[in-house]
Structure 1
Amino acid sequence: MVREFYRRFRRGPARMELGPSPSPTPPISRNKEKAPLAMRLLEQSGSINPQLGSPIFSNLPREIRELIWRFCLTRYEDLDSLYPIESRFSRPGRSAPLRTALDLLLTCQAIYVEAFLVPFEVNPFVVHDGDRQDLPPLGSSHQCIPGDLGRYEKLKPWQLAHISSVEMTVQQFQLEGGSVERVSRLVGALGRHKGYESRGFTLQGSAHFVPPRSNADGHSEAQNGGDRLSSSQNLLVGRKITSLTIRMLRTDWWAWTSSPQEGSENPKERLRLEPMVNTTANNLYLAMTRGYEARKEGAEPDFGLDGFEQEGRWGTQIIEYWPDLATLELVLETFACKESQLDYVVECAKLWTFPMEDGYHLVYEGLESSRWLGAESYGYEEGNSWIGEENKHQNGKRNGTVALWRPNSDGDDGSPQEFIMKTLRYQRKRKERKL
C-alpha cells in the first residue's frame, strides 16, 4: 500500500521535463512577460530625476544604498497584528504576519529602479507542504502550497526569476515521499542552474524555464547584470537557488503522538530522521542509528535498498535537484519533554554530508538551539494525554533560556507548553582529500 501511494505521489504532473521541448500545457498568463516599469523608465533617457538634492543619492555610493534597500525590504513580523498564541502556526519568527515594506518603492522613481528587484532577492519563496492546521494565513505572493496555483500565480516571470532562496515546511512522510523534488520543480531550480529564462508557471503548477532567446546574430540576449541595471538586461534569466531551509514542526514527525515513555521502550516510537531512506524502506525506524554508526567509522551506510527504494530519498534529491545550494538549513522542532530524542537526531545529523558538483559537499557547519513557551492547549492534546502531563513548562527545571518571542504576555498565563527548536546549518565546501 505504501509503495502504491508513493508511485501515485511521484506520478504527479510536477514531473514534467524542463528544457526547450514544448510544454503539454502552455504556461499561464503569457502577457505577464511584459517588461517591468523600471525597464520602461530606463529606456526613456533623462526621465528619472537623479534626486541629487537628497543626501542618500548625493553622498552615499551605490553600494551603501543597496545595503539600505536590502535592509528595508527584508520581511519582518508585524507585531501589531499578533496571531493568537493558541494557533498552531504561532511560534518564534512566526508570531505575526510577515510583511515587506513595499511602500519604499513608491517614494520616487530613482529608488524604484534601484530597488524593485530587492524584495525577491532577499526574501525566501515559502512553501508549505505540511498539515494545513500549521499553515498561517497566506497573503503574500512569496508563499504557496504545492498544487494550489492561486497562491503564487501572482508572481510575474521576472519576479519569479529573481528569487534565490526557498524555505519549505514539510511533514516527514512528505519529505521522505518526494517533497524536495516537487518543490525544486515548483521553483525551477534546474532551469535556473542551466541559465534558462522564466516563463512563469504551467497549469500543472511547476515553474517553466526555457533556453534564452537569441538575437538576429545568434547570440543570447541574457546578460549578467553588472554594477547598474541597464535597459537591455534580460530580467527573465533565473537566479540560481543558493539557499534552502527545510522545516519540520513538532507534529510533522512520524512518531509525534508517542509519549516519551513509549519512545524509551520502543525504537519505532522515537523521533528519527535519515536522508538516505524513503517511506518504502524496511526497518525505517532503525535507519538513522545504522547510518550514524557507519558514518562514525568514516563510511557511507548501505541500507540494502532495491532500485525502487532508492528513489525519493530526500538526501539524493538535494544533490540531484538543487545543484547550486551554498547553504542548507534543517529546522527541527519538538516538545520539550522529547528533547533527548531530538538531541540524538541532531548528533546523527552532524555527520550527514550531501555531495554536490565539482568535488563540493554540503557539510555540517553549526547548530543553534532555542526553547520557547506557547499556549496551554492547541487542541491536539485530546487523545495524547502525555502532552498535558509532561510538556508543561517546569520553571527552570529544564536547561536553557526561554526565548522571549512575543511583545506582551496576553494569553500566556496558566500552564504553557514548552517547545525545543534546533537549527542545523550545512555549508558548501570542497571535500578534503585524505592523505
Structure 2
Amino acid sequence: MNGKPKLPVSDIAFGLVGSCKASYLETYRLPLQLNYYTVYDFQGPFRPQLAKLAPWQAASIQRVDISLQQMALEQGELRNWLKEWYAKERHAGAYIAPRFLHAWDERFARKVESFPFDTLSTSISGRTKPQDGDELTLPITTEVPDDYDDVFYEKGTFATHFKARAMIARPLTHLTLRLAHEDWWHWGDNPTESSYTAHQLYLDPAVGKVPGSLSLKASAKIMEELAAKRRAGEDVQGQGTWGAIVGRLPDLVELQLVLETFDVKSHQLEKIAECAKTWKFPVENTPYELVWDGKVQDASWDIEPGAFERNYNEPLIMEVEDGEDEDEDEDTYWNLLDDDGASADEERESPPPPPPPSWNTLCTRFETRVVRFTRKRRDNTAL
C-alpha cells in the first residue's frame, strides 16, 4: 500500500500443520511461536489488527516485527501499542481465555476490546503446572446485547458461566523495529544543499519528544555527544523514551534495529550505527540488559528509475487518430477561446513547464544497517 513493496510469499511450512490431526495437535502453535508477527502499517489502523486474532493465536506469539516512523517511535505510539501485548502479564504466567468482550458503541455498533488476561493457578487448572488446554469456568459477559448473536458460547436464559480451554500466554522474547528511508525526521531534506548540515539523520534511545525525556530537541550532534559520554563510562538513560519502553519487556532476549536510508545519506546512517554500539537497554527490575552483539550487518537494494514516482520531466504525448486535424485537436485541448471571447488568432499562452523532479525521486539505491542487541547480565556474563 502507498507505494510500499508487496509482502513476500510466506515460507512457513503450513503443509506440515495440515497433514493430519496428530501432526496438527503437535505443531499448530509453532508457526506463531517461531515466526515474527509483522506489523507492516503501524500508522493506524494497524495492519494486521491484533484484535482480529483468535485468543489462542495472540497467546502463542513471541516475536514482533514493527515498521514505524521515527515520530511514532519517539512520541509514545510504540509505548501505547505495546500495552496491548501485556508483556508483564505474559511474564507472570497468564493465560488468554477464548472469549471476546464487546463494548457497545452506537457509532460502530460494537467494538472488540483487548483479550481478557488472567493468571492460572492450581485451584483453577487442577494441575501443579498449568498447560495449554486446561479447562476454565468463566463468567458470561453482560456487555453483549440480548439480540446480539455473534458470540460463540451459548448464553442461555439463566446461564452465568461457561466452560473454556485456556492457552498459556507466551512471553515476548524478540522485537524488531524498522525505519525505512521515508520514516526519519527530515528524511526529505536535500543532502546536497549547503544549509543541510543542521538536519542530519539521528537516533538515540535516551532522547525524543516523550514527556520526561532527556532532551526535547534531539539532533545528530546530541546523539554523538551522548555516545561520547557512554564511551567515557557514563550511564546515559532517558525516562519515558523509546529505550525505556523497550526495557519494560521483561523477557526480551533480542532487539533488532533495521535502519534504511537513501544511498546519498549512507554516511549519516554510518554515524547512527557507530553510536548505536554504545547503547544499552536495561531490563526493568532485572539484573539484565540488552547490549550490542558486536556486529553491524550491511545491506543494500536497488530499484528501477521512476519506480516510486513518475518522471515529471517526461513530456505529455497526445496521440491523434487518423483523419483528425492535429492543429484542430491541439486548439481544442488548450481551449483557445477564453471567458472574454478572445479570438483564436491571438497569441496563445504556453502552458507552464512541469516542475523538476525532487532529488529523492531520482534515487535508485538504498542502504540498510542492521544492529542487534542481546540479553546479558550487567556484569557482562552471557545469559
User: One fold, TM greater than 0.5?
Assistant: yes
The C-alpha deviation readout for 1:347-405, integer Å capped at 9, x for no partner, is: 0111000011432110001211111112322129888622245x3xxxxxxxxxxxxxx
Residue 227 of structure 2: aligned partner:
292
Residue 31 of structure 2: aligned partner:
119
Is the 1:257–1:384 contact (alpha carbons within 8 Å) kept by the matching residues of 2? no
Classify 1:260/1:221 alpha carbon distance in 2 versus 1 (closer, same or farther; 3 Å): farther
Classify 1:380/1:429 alpha carbon distance in 2 versus 1 (closer, same or farther; 3 Å): farther
Distance (Å, rounded) in 1 between the aligned partners of 2:10 and 2:80: 24
Residue 315 of structure 1: aligned partner:
243
Tell me which protein shows more helix as a share of its residues: 1
Residue 282 of structure 1: aligned partner:
216
1:284 counterpart SS class? coil
Is 1:249 the equivalent of 2:174? Answer: no
Give, in angstroms, the shift of residue 210 of structure 1: 1.6
Higher mean displacement: 333-342 or 206-215: 206-215
Residue 374 of structure 2: aligned partner:
427
Equivalent position amino acid for 2:289 in 1: H
The C-alpha deviation readout for 1:290-338, integer Å capped at 9, x for no partner, is: 21121121113478xxxxxx43x00011112x11100000000111111
Classify 1:388/1:126 alpha carbon distance in 2 versus 1 (closer, same or farther; 3 Å): closer
Classify 1:110/1:168 alpha carbon distance in 2 versus 1 (closer, same or farther; 3 Å): same
Give, in angstroms, the shift of residue 174 of structure 1: 0.3
Classify 1:267/1:193 alpha carbon distance in 2 versus 1 (closer, same or farther; 3 Å): farther
Is the 2:133–2:166 contact (alpha carbons within 8 Å) kept by the matching residues of 1? no
Give, in angstroms, the shift of residue 88 of structure 1: 3.5
Superposition TM-score, scaled by structure 1 size? 0.60
| Number of residue equivalences | 292
2:265 counterpart SS class? helix
Classify 1:289/1:327 alpha carbon distance in 2 versus 1 (closer, same or farther; 3 Å): same
Give, in angstroms, the shift of residue 99 of structure 1: 5.6
Point out 4+ residue stretches in structure 1 off by more than 6 angstroms.
229-234, 380-384
Q: Alignment partner for residue 16 of structure 2, among 92, 104, 114?
A: 104
Is the 1:125–1:165 contact (alpha carbons within 8 Å) kept by the matching residues of 2? yes
2:250 counterpart SS class? coil
Is the 1:369–1:423 contact (alpha carbons within 8 Å) kept by the matching residues of 2? yes
Residue 363 of structure 1: aligned partner:
291
The C-alpha deviation readout for 1:105-152, integer Å capped at 9, x for no partner, is: 2221221111111111111122245458xxxxxxxxxxxx54x7x834
Residue 172 of structure 1: aligned partner:
70
Distance (Å, rounded) in 1 between the aligned partners of 2:280 and 2:70: 19
Is the 1:127–1:168 contact (alpha carbons within 8 Å) kept by the matching residues of 2? yes
Aligned-residue Cα RMSD (Å) equals 3.2
Is the 1:212–1:222 contact (alpha carbons within 8 Å) kept by the matching residues of 2? no
Residue 82 of structure 2: aligned partner:
184
Give, in angstroms, the shift of residue 231 of structure 1: 7.5
Distance (Å, rounded) in 1 between the aligned partners of 2:207 and 2:100: 31
Report which of the two structures shows the higher radius of gyration computed on alpha carbons.
2
Q: Alignment partner for residue 209 of structure 1, among 117, 132, 143?
A: 117
Equivalent position amino acid for 1:419 in 2: F
1:325 counterpart SS class? coil
Equivalent position amino acid for 2:190 in 1: S
What are the residue-to-residue correspondences of 1:354-433 with 2, within 5 Å? Answer: 354-356=281-283, 357-365=285-293, 366-377=295-306, 378-379=308-309, 385-389=358-362, 391=363, 417-432=364-379
Classify 1:180/1:220 alpha carbon distance in 2 versus 1 (closer, same or farther; 3 Å): farther
Classify 1:126/1:223 alpha carbon distance in 2 versus 1 (closer, same or farther; 3 Å): farther
Give, in angstroms, the shift of residue 428 of structure 1: 0.2
Give, in angstroms, the shift of residue 258 of structure 1: 0.8
Residue 199 of structure 2: aligned partner:
269
Instruction: Point out where structure 1 has 5 or more consecutive residues left out of the alignment.
Output: 1-82, 133-144, 304-309, 392-416
Is the 2:291–2:374 contact (alpha carbons within 8 Å) kept by the matching residues of 1? yes
Give, in angstroms, the shift of residue 185 of structure 1: 1.7
Classify 1:129/1:284 alpha carbon distance in 2 versus 1 (closer, same or farther; 3 Å): farther
The C-alpha deviation readout for 1:394-422, integer Å capped at 9, x for no partner, is: xxxxxxxxxxxxxxxxxxxxxxx101111
Distance (Å, rounded) in 1 between the aligned partners of 2:188 and 2:19: 51
1:107 counterpart SS class? coil
The C-alpha deviation readout for 1:240-290, integer Å capped at 9, x for no partner, is: 11100011111000011012124x744441110111122254331143122
Distance (Å, rounded) in 2 between the aligned partners of 1:159 and 1:130: 20
1:112 counterpart SS class? helix
Classify 1:129/1:316 alpha carbon distance in 2 versus 1 (closer, same or farther; 3 Å): farther
Residue 328 of structure 2: aligned partner:
none
Is the 2:42–2:66 contact (alpha carbons within 8 Å) kept by the matching residues of 1? no
Distance (Å, rounded) in 1 between the aligned partners of 2:270 and 2:127: 51
Equivalent position amino acid for 1:379 in 2: E
Superposition TM-score, scaled by structure 2 size? 0.67
Classify 1:324/1:387 alpha carbon distance in 2 versus 1 (closer, same or farther; 3 Å): same
Instruction: Point out where structure 2 has 5 or more consecutive residues left out of the alignment.
Output: 102-110, 137-164, 313-355
Classify 1:159/1:352 alpha carbon distance in 2 versus 1 (closer, same or farther; 3 Å): same
